[in-house]
Amino acid sequence: MLDFPVQMWQRFKAGPIWKSLFRHGYPDSRKNQSLAVFTNVFLHLHPVKVRRHALAIPYTWCMGGLSFFLFLVLTLTGTLLMFYYRPTTEWAYSDIKDLETVVVFGQLLRNMHRWAAHGMVITVFLHMIRVFYTGSYKPPREFNWVIGTLLFFLTLLLSYTGYLLPWDQLAFWAVTVGYGIAQATPFIGNDFSFIFFGGYQLGPNALLRFYVLHVVALPLATGFLIAIHFWRIRKDGGISGPL
């Protein structure tokens, strides 16, 4: 009777399901170790070897990794906040107040999201300064510099669109300033402000559009560009070395 589970386990390991999940043996040889990296999506994201300067904190400042970590924190906390927030002018402010006073750990959750957003703007900006200061934008990394610049603007847009969502006096009048700046754009000011803010004044349409941009469009675009950013670092030979 004791041999029956062992026999079933051996049959399962020899079956097609096991082979479809694990396509190589135990990583006890160079070949199996390489296969373990190449066939695993998480291990494949990381290089097998890194240069010594890539681990030097005084050189990299760890700003790129911190920016990505804060993006993950924002994604997690933002998803949890969506369970308690309704993007309407009638309920937005009251939902934020309920988060601070009624929901268990709601104020902690909101503050984590808010301070992570501030921190991401700072770390992305410092990351760009480090890249420029060390000349990491030079050939063959010009394309990745453009991707990084786009990520910086998307970070600012994520912060700006999230600013209106509490629908309090501070958020309303702060975004009103941005609305006035958009309207003052030569030739396309009125059309641009109408499309981006959903009308010729701030109201329910602006709140809904900012919410959709903040939780769907901009995070998807940011995640897509982050994946390209990491891929280009790998293809360009890893983190650039000191000049």
Helices and strands: H and E segment counts in the chain: 13, 0
If residue 145 lies in a helix (H) or strand (E), which one and from where to where?
Answer: helix 142-163
> Which DSSP string do the residues of 214-234 spell out, in sequence order?
IIIIHHHHHHHHHHHHHHHHH
Phi-psi region of 61 (alpha: psi -120 to 50; beta: other; left: phi over 0): left
> In whole angstroms, what is the distance from residue 89 CA to residue 104 CA?
24
How much of the chain exceeds pLDDT 90, in percent? Answer: 63
Q: For residue range 103-154, what is the model confidence (pLDDT) as tens digits?
A: 999 999 999 999 999 999 999 999 999 999 999 999 989 999 999 999 999 9
Tokens of 56: 């030097």
Tokens of 116: 């992570």
> Which DSSP string do the residues of 6-54 spell out, in sequence order?
HHHHHHHHHSHHHHHH--S--S-SHHHHHHHHHT-HHHHTS-S---GGG
Confidence (pLDDT) at 77? 97
pLDDT band at 80 (very low <50, low <70, confident <90, very high): very high
Q: What average pLDDT does this structure show over 6-27?
A: 77
Confidence (pLDDT) at 93? 96
More confident of the two residues 40 and 156: 156
Closest CA to 207 of 82, 86, 87: 87
Q: Assign 77 to helix, strand or coil.
A: helix
Contact 75, 219 (CB under 8 A): yes
Q: For residue range 181-223, what is the model confidence (pLDDT) as tens digits?
A: 998 989 898 899 999 999 888 899 999 999 999 999 999 999 9
Confidence (pLDDT) at 21? 73
Q: What average pLDDT does this structure show over 95-103?
A: 95
pLDDT band at 243 (very low <50, low <70, confident <90, very high): low
Residue 171 has pLDDT above 60, yes or no: yes
Alpha-helical regions (H) of 56-203? 57-60, 63-81, 92-101, 106-133, 142-163, 169-183, 189-197
Domains along the chain with CATH numbers: 60-235 (1.20.810.10)
Q: 80-84, 175-179, 185-189: which has the highest mean pLDDT?
A: 80-84
Contact 153, 221 (CB under 8 A): no
